[in-house]
Chain A
Amino acid sequence: MIESLALNNKSEKTDYNILNLGPTHPATHGVFQNILKMDGEIIHETTSTIGYIHRAFEKIAEHKPFYQITTLTDRLNYCSSPINNMGWHMTVEKLLGVETPKRVDYMRVIIMEFARIADHLVCNSIIGADTGALTGFTYVFQWREKIYDIFEEVCGARLTTNIGRIGGMERDFSPACMKKMHDFLNDFPKYFDEFTMLLERNRIFMERNIGVGPISAERALNYGFTGPNLRAAGVDYDVRVMNPYSSYQDFDFMIPLGTQGDTYDRFVVRQHEIRESLKIIKQALNNIPEGKFFADVPDFFLPPKEEVYNNMEALIFHFKIVMGEATVPVGEVYHSVEGGNGELGFYMVSDGGRTPYRLHFRRPCFISYQAYPEMIKGSMLSDAILTMSSMNVIAGELDA
Chain B
Amino acid sequence: MVQIDNQYILTELQDKFGERIYNSYEPYGLLTIELDKNSIKEVLQFLYDHKELQMQFLTDVCGIHYPQVFGKELGVVYHVHSLINNVRIRIKCFMPIENPSIDSATFLFSSANWQERETFDFYGINFIGHPNLKRILNADEMDYFPMRKEYPLEDGTRTDKDDSYFGR
Contact = CB atoms under 8 A, between A and B. Distances in A.
Interface of A: 50-51, 54, 56, 58-60, 62-63, 94-95, 219, 221-224, 235, 237, 242-243, 323-325, 331-334, 336, 343, 345, 347, 349, 354, 358, 360, 362, 366-367, 369-371, 399-400
Interface of B: 27-28, 30, 32, 56-60, 62, 64-65, 77, 79, 83, 86, 88, 90, 109-111, 113-115, 118, 122, 136-139, 146-147, 151, 153, 166-168
Contacts of B57: 221, 224
A237 B83 contact: yes
A63 B163 CA distance: 12
Looking at chain A's contact residues, the main secondary structure is mixed
Contact of B111 (A62, A95, A370, A400): A370
B59 to A, nearest CB: 6
Contacts of B113: 370
20 contacts: A51-B138, A58-B122, A95-B28, A221-B56, A221-B83, A222-B110, A223-B110, A224-B59, A224-B111, A242-B83, A242-B86, A323-B166, A331-B28, A332-B27, A332-B32, A333-B28, A349-B64, A360-B60, A362-B59, A370-B111
Nearest to B135: A51
Nearest to B57: A221
A242 B86 CA distance: 7
Nearest to A331: B27
Contact of B146 (A50, A59, A333): A59
B111 A222 contact: yes
A371 B111 CA distance: 8
A59 B149 CA distance: 9
Contacts of A331: 27-28
Given A94-B28, A367-B114, 19 more contacts: A51-B136, A54-B138, A58-B147, A59-B151, A221-B56, A224-B57, A235-B83, A323-B167, A333-B28, A336-B59, A345-B79, A354-B167, A360-B62, A362-B60, A362-B79, A366-B115, A367-B111, A370-B114, A399-B137
A367 B136 CA distance: 12
A219 B110 CA distance: 8
Contacts of A366: 114-115, 118
Contacts of A243: 86
Given A94-B28, A237-B83, A51 B137 contact: yes
